[in-house]
C-alpha cells in the first residue's frame, strides 16, 4: 500500500480513551465527542540591543500545552478523570422523586401509598398542599396539615380528606450507579489517546492518532445544561512532561487504513 500523503484535511471530531498513567487501567472513554481542542503554547521573549528597533534574537520561555474535550453523552467516569471521584456501578443508589401527585381519600382510611413505598427513605419524605405549597408536619397522631408515616404509607387527618397533595421523597434501587466526589479525591495522572477516522481528498480511509503520554485535569469540569438543548460536558487537561528518555510528549501517528 502506498504511504499516505503527510498533508490532508482533518474531518470529524473522533473518540478518545483516558487511562491511568500508573497502571494502564481505563479511567474514561469519550465516545460522543462534540469537540476536541489541542493547544500548544510556546512563547518567546524578544532580545534587543544597541540602537536597533527590532529584536535581533528571541529566547524560549516556559511552554504550556492543554487538551480539552466536550462530550455530548454523560458518563460518571468523567468525574474520575477530572477529580478522582469514586464510581460504583450496579449498586445501591438513592433516587429523588419530586412532586408525586396524590389525593387524600374522601373517606376513611385517610391513607396514601408512595409509588416506591417498599424502598422509600422515611427521613426524606416531604408533603405539601398542591394548591398552596404549604408543607405538612410529620407527627404520630395527625391533625389538619399533618401526617404520620409507616413503611411507605402516609396517614392524614379527616380534616384534609379530598385534598390534593404533592410528595417529595427518596427511594433506593440496587442497580444504579453512584459517583461520589470526595473531599480527599486526588486528580489522577493519565495518558490520553485520541483517534480520528476520515477520508482524504482521494477517498482513502485515514486515521490520525494523537497520544498524549502524561496529562492531568487542570481543575475544571463543566456540566452545561440549558432549557431546550442537550447537556454538554467539558474536560480540560494540562499536558505534562512525561519524563521519557526519548523526550516525547505527544505523538501524532498518520496512517491509511
Residues 68 and 193 placed together within one structural domain of the fold? yes
Let me know whether 76 and 96 are in one domain.
no
Asked if the structure places residue 196 within a domain, the reply is: yes
Domain boundary among 145, 178, 211: 178
On whether both 171 and 186 belong to a single domain, the answer is: no
CATH code of residue 209: 2.30.110
Domain match, 158 and 190 both: no
Confidence of residue 204 (pLDDT cuts 50, 70, 90): confident
Identify the domain containing residue 229 by its residue range.
15-85+182-256
Q: What's the total number of domains in the chain?
A: 2
Dump pLDDT digits (tens) for 120-160: 999 999 999 999 999 999 999 999 999 999 999 999 999 99
Q: Which of 234, 255, 253, 236 is nearest to 33 (CA)?
A: 234
Q: How far apart are CA 33 and CA 196, in angstroms?
A: 11
Sign of CA dihedral 177, 182, 184, 190: positive
Mean pLDDT of the chain: 94
pLDDT digits (tens, 9 = 90+) for 82-111: 999 999 999 999 999 999 999 999 999 999
Residue 76 lies in a domain: yes
- 82 torsion bin: left (phi>0), alpha (psi -120 to 50), beta (else): alpha
The residue out of 124, 158, 178 marking a domain boundary is 178
Confidence of residue 6 (pLDDT cuts 50, 70, 90): confident
Structure-block grid coordinates of residue 6: 503527510
Do 97 and 33 reside in the same domain of the chain?
no
CA distances from 52 to 47, 57, 58 (A): 11, 12, 14
Residues 215-226 have pLDDT tens digits of: 999 978 899 999
Minimal CA–CA distance to 188: which of 88, 77, 83, 86? 83
Per-residue pLDDT at 193 exceeds 70: yes
In tens, the pLDDT along 16-58 reads 999 999 999 999 999 999 999 999 999 999 999 999 999 999 9
Amino acid at each position: 500500500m502506498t504511504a499516505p500523503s503527510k498533508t490532508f484535511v482533518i474531518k470529524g471530531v473522533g473518540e478518545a480513551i483516558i487511562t491511568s498513567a500508573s497502571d494502564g487501567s481505563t479511567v474514561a472513554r469519550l465516545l460522543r465527542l462534540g469537540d476536541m481542542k489541542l493547544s500548544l503554547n510556546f512563547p518567546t521573549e524578544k532580545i534587543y540591543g544597541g540602537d536597533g528597533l527590532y529584536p535581533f534574537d528571541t529566547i524560549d520561555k516556559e511552554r504550556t500545552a492543554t487538551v480539552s474535550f466536550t462530550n455530548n453523552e454523560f458518563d460518571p467516569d468523567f468525574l474520575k478523570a477530572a477529580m478522582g471521584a469514586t464510581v460504583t456501578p450496579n449498586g445501591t443508589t438513592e433516587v429523588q422523586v419530586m412532586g408525586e401527585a396524590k389525593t387524600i381519600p374522601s373517606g376513611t382510611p385517610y391513607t396514601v401509598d408512595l409509588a416506591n413505598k417498599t424502598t422509600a427513605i422515611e427521613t426524606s419524605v416531604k408533603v405539601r398542599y398542591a394548591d398552596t405549597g404549604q408543607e405538612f408536619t410529620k407527627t404520630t397522631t395527625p391533625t389538619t396539615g399533618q401526617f404520620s408515616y409507616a413503611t411507605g404509607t402516609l396517614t392524614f387527618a379527616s380534616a384534609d380528606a379530598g385534598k390534593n397533595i404533592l410528595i417529595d421523597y427518596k427511594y433506593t434501587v440496587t442497580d444504579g450507579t453512584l459517583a461520589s466526589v470526595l473531599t480527599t479525591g486526588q486528580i489522577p495522572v493519565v495518558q490520553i489517546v485520541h483517534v480520528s477516522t476520515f477520508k482524504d481528498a482521494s477517498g482513502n480511509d485515514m486515521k490520525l492518532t494523537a497520544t498524549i503520554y502524561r496529562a492531568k485535569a487542570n481543575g475544571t469540569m463543566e456540566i452545561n445544561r440549558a432549557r431546550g438543548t442537550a447537556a454538554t460536558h467539558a474536560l480540560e487537561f494540562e499536558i505534562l512532561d512525561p519524563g521519557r528518555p526519548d523526550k516525547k510528549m505527544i505523538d501524532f501517528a498518520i496512517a491509511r487504513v
